[in-house]
Structure 1
Amino acid sequence: MLLRRLSIYLMFGTAALACTATAASDNALDKALQEAAQHGHAKKIPLLINNGANVEARDANGSTPLLIATLHNEVGAASVLIEAGADVNAKNTIQDSPYLYAGARGHNEILAMTLAHGADLESTNRYGGTALIPAAERGHVETVRTLIQAGVNVNHVNNLGWTALLEAIILGDGGPRHVEIVQLLVDAGADANLADGQGVTPLQHARQRGYGDIEAILLHAGAQSR
């Protein structure tokens, strides 16, 4: 029964995405703009836009030229597109946006531009997580620092029942980058006692993995031993 219910949820979720995604453009200028974004041909972008290319044209995955540039970390192309008015929050069919993807992948130059041009700090990815959560998981120290300074909620809980702090511990490697990220998070007010969906706390996860440095940070931050 549970598997059947999950299958139904997935079916409706896929259908909803298909219905809400903007149709892919078949315009030659739009496709040329998408290719220029992908390959970092920043000088071509204003010419294409001036000749009628749509700065928000979608490809088959629902990605805009700005998201395409972000996927390939083409900073110059992203800059030109943003200055031309590209939406930094426009999502594709799997709920990635330029802002969310730049944060998740540690594309810090593009991230900074999205933050300066209206990034929605409360927007979430397909897992219900903010940009901060995957950044913490993947060990992007400077990205985490940037997102904290921007004001992203450090205690946001995603669909897995995990915060950025929990992901940094559960999916991190316990090394220097993740230790620094844990310190940044607790310094910014991350709740050291906010447990996952099964009631396991950050401290318990750290101890299970033998992450002594992280354990010490959590204890200093008020984590309760249970």
Structure 2
Amino acid sequence: MKAHVAALTIILAALCPAAQDSPFYLPIRNNDLTTLKKLIDSPGPKARDGRGNSPLMYSAALGSLESMRVLLDAGADPNAANDFAATPLMWCAGDAAKVRLLLSKGAKVDTRSKLGRTPLLIAAAYDGAVEAARLLIEKGADVNARDEGGMSVLEQAASSNHIELIRLLLAKGANFRVFCWHMSRWPGRPSSCLGNTEPASTVSG
């Protein structure tokens, strides 16, 4: 998860260099809840940076669960999207605790970014995101969603060799033929999750 946070720090800075100039950025990054609470009145939890990112997005990506609670309790919108149509849930899609909190506040599970990515598609890219994915699916996330490039949730998990997540997706109705196609591309990788001892390329749906 530390590597995940580090990557998001770089991504956030790349998307909007002005993000680090936001008065919310450092208090959230440093888990300074005292300063964060002082900022609630002005400029407020609905403030946006130059790319439409909200304080809750910073917190979802880089901050603590406590900082997210502070912002949500102050009226931050869990479904507010930035200029790329990304929502707070997408910024923390691999973190089960943060996902659970946002879902409890009404976050929508099948919103799409401009690239067609859903929170579940994003979660499938991260190792250790099985519990977060389970929470999203329980709330109705589409296990067969595809992004604008045609990548499905199952394909995303298979391409990252996330065996436990592949099991979960198949159990929840993910397209098995897509899974078989990936096994034919990467023989011997995810086939073990089905208990199959034959070469992956021989498996048919």
Query: Match of 2:62?
Result: 72
Equivalent residue in structure 2 for 1:55, among 38, 45, 49? 45
In structure 1, the partner of 2:170 is 186
Select which of 127, 131, 139 maps to 2:119: 131
Asked if 1:93 corresponds to 2:77, the answer is no
Task: Answer whether contact 1:75 1:109 (CA < 8 A) is retained.
Answer: yes
In 1, Cα distance between equivalents of 2:191 and 2:204: 14
CA distance in 2 between partners of 1:218 and 1:60 (Å): 50
Superposed CA deviations along residues 17-48 of structure 1, whole A, max 9, x for unmatched, are: xxxxxxx99xxxx9433442333211223332
Task: Confirm or deny: 8 A CA contact 1:136 1:164 kept in the other structure.
Answer: yes
Indicate how the Cα distance of structure 1 residues 83 and 155 shifts in structure 2: closer, same or farther if over 3 A, else same: same
Instruction: State the shift of 1:107 in Å.
Output: 2.4
Q: CA deviation at 1:215?
A: 6.3
Q: 1:41 aligns with which of 32, 35, 45?
A: 32
Alpha-carbon offset, residue 185 of structure 1: 0.4
Q: Which has the larger radius of gyration?
A: 1
Distance 1:160 1:144 in 2: 21
Structure 2: stretches of 5+ with no match in the other structure: 1-17, 197-201
The corresponding residue for 1:161 is 150
SS of aligned partner of 1:58: coil
TM-score computed with the length of structure 2 as normaliser: 0.77
Q: 1:212 & 1:31 partners in 2: Cα distance?
A: 44
| 1:55-113: CA deviation from partner (whole Å, max 9, x where unpaired) | 1111123211111112213222111001111011222223322111111xx22222111
The 3 A distance-change label for structure 1 pair 132 and 218 is farther
Match of 1:209 among 174, 186, 190: 186
Change (3 A) 1:86 1:218: farther
Partner residue in 2 for 1:32: 23
Work out the CA distance in 1 between the residues paired with 2:45 and 2:63.
Answer: 18
Secondary structure of 2:147's partner? coil
1:107 aligned onto 2:95: yes
Specify the alignment match of 1:152 in structure 2. 141
**Alpha-carbon distance change, 32 to 137 in structure 1, aligned in 2, over 3 angstroms:** closer
C-alpha distance in 1, partners of 2:104/2:193? 36
Q: CA separation in 2, counterparts of 1:34 and 1:213? A: 40
Cα RMSD over matched residues? 2.7
Give the conservation status (yes or no) of the 8 Å contact 2:120–2:133: yes
Letter of the 1:93 counterpart: D
Aligned residues: 181
8 Å contact from structure 1 (residues 122, 152) kept in 2: yes
Q: Distance in 2 between matches of 1:40 and 1:87?
A: 20
Secondary structure of 1:180 counterpart:
helix
Are the aligned partners of 1:70 and 1:78 in contact in 2 as well (CA < 8 Å)? yes
State the Cα distance separating 1:181 from its structure 2 match.
Answer: 0.6
The answer (yes or no) to whether the contact 1:207–1:215 under 8 Å persists in 2 is no
**Matched-pair identity in %:** 27
CA separation of 1:216 and 1:179: change in aligned 2, threshold 3 A: closer
